[in-house]
Chain A
């Protein structure tokens, strides 16, 4: 939701399909493809792929950018677990604001309330 809000603020159209891995370009986000590949590699188990993704991202955005990118990946890898383990629902206003792209991207299948 904040990705779209950022785009609206700056009058830029980001391709939200980037978050599902359905597109292979930057999606309108600077170095978007490298960021996505880095996130995928950090959460994966292929050490060589991670080393390549890390080196490519560092070359593109510098060490400070890489450090902040790794921080965001780490943080959301954790906060997702808090959300999943506590059964926390989306806030009503966030649910309303994101309903269209959640449906378009098929994200509602991840709704914790749907789990038995």
Chain B
């Protein structure tokens, strides 16, 4: 499971390499609302987004809405999916509920939206780490055939986010285990819960690339080669650079 970094110049913890392998292979598999080819295309578009001229012009503008045009895309995905991938990748701090509603009105379902955001997040998490370490980007996975499951949790309903979410009390057997035991579910987990498999996959990465929900609050011992304070300083600085309050 750890072949991803087998020849890397800096050793990567085995549990983290295994988590990345699970996540990376899954990117090319049929998901819940996108098939393997579409998921792999979203991953590829995520990497392509920083070179988009429209995104560059929007980043430099006082308001991204003031700049119209067509994205430079790889030409595989519908334009509305490209818009979501590029905006989430290149200008997330200026996303708004109004923009989100327009995306949904344009034809993307809320479920497809959540899965798209999740695929982007998986790629960004891993690509940013490898960039930090000076590694080559991982080769994107080959798409696997099959149909998406199209599973929508029956208990999902409007909550505090733009997208519907699952409260812990509304989980059924099919969604069991998406939230940690012994702690309240964080809103960031609920925000992805419209697509439960994405919660499982992304927070598998979180637990290994950052810390698990219990470890992050256990200040009595250290679980990584850097300490809690160092971890949280990095986390907070990144979030400020990204202009993200959460």
Binding site for B on A (CB under 8 A): 2-3, 5-7, 9-10, 12, 14, 16, 18-21, 27-32, 35-36, 38-40, 42-43, 50-51, 54, 61-91, 102, 107-108, 110-112, 115-116
Judge if B10 is at the interface, Cβ distance under 8 Å.
yes
**With A19-B237, A21-B237, A51-B134 as given contacts, are A82 and B206 in contact (CB-CB < 8 Å)?**
no
B234: chain A residues at CB < 8 Å are 35-36, 38-39, 69, 72-73, 76
Name 13 interchain pairs, CB-CB below 8 A, sorted by A: A5-B217, A6-B228, A28-B229, A30-B227, A38-B132, A61-B230, A68-B224, A74-B129, A76-B242, A77-B125, A83-B244, A85-B88, A91-B186
A56–chain B nearest beta-carbon distance, Å: 13
The reply to whether A115 and B117 form a contact with Cβ atoms under 8 Å apart is no
Q: Which DSSP category, helix, strand, loop or mixed, fits chain B's interface?
A: helix
Query: Does B151 reach chain A (CB closer than 8 Å)?
Result: no
- Identify which of B26-34, B36-44, B74-82, B94-102 touches chain A: B94-102
Given contacts A78-B124, A87-B161, contact A70 B133 (CB under 8 A): yes
CB distance from B95 to the nearest CB of A (A): 5
Binding site for A on B (CB under 8 A): 10-13, 16, 84, 88-89, 92-98, 100, 114, 117-118, 120-122, 124-134, 160-163, 184, 186-188, 190-192, 202, 205-206, 209-210, 216-217, 219-220, 224-246
Q: A5-B217, A69-B226 are in contact. List 15 more A-B contacts (CB 8 A).
A: A16-B236, A28-B229, A35-B233, A36-B237, A54-B133, A66-B10, A67-B16, A70-B130, A72-B226, A75-B125, A81-B92, A88-B187, A88-B188, A90-B187, A112-B95
Number of A-B residue pairs, CB cutoff 8 Å, is: 257
Instruction: Say how far A6's CB is from chain B's closest CB, in angstroms.
Output: 4
Whether the Cβ atoms of A76 and B98 lie closer than 8 Å is no
Is the pair B232, A82 in contact by a Cβ cutoff of 8 Å?
no
* A112–B233 touching, CB < 8 Å: no
What separation, in Å, do the CA atoms of A77 and B224 have in the docked complex?
19
Complex alpha-carbon distance, A107 and B243, angstroms:
8
CA distance A21 to B163 in the complex (A): 33
Is the pair B229, A12 in contact by a Cβ cutoff of 8 Å? yes
CB-CB under 8 A from A71, the residues of chain B are: 16, 129, 209-210
Q: Is the CB of B133 within 8 A of A77?
A: no
CB distance from B121 to the nearest CB of A (A): 4
Interface contact A10-B219, CB-CB below 8 Å: yes
A69-B132, A71-B209 given as contacts; is B114 within 8 A of A86 (CB)? yes
Expressed in whole angstroms, the minimum distance between the Cβ of B10 and any Cβ of chain A is: 5
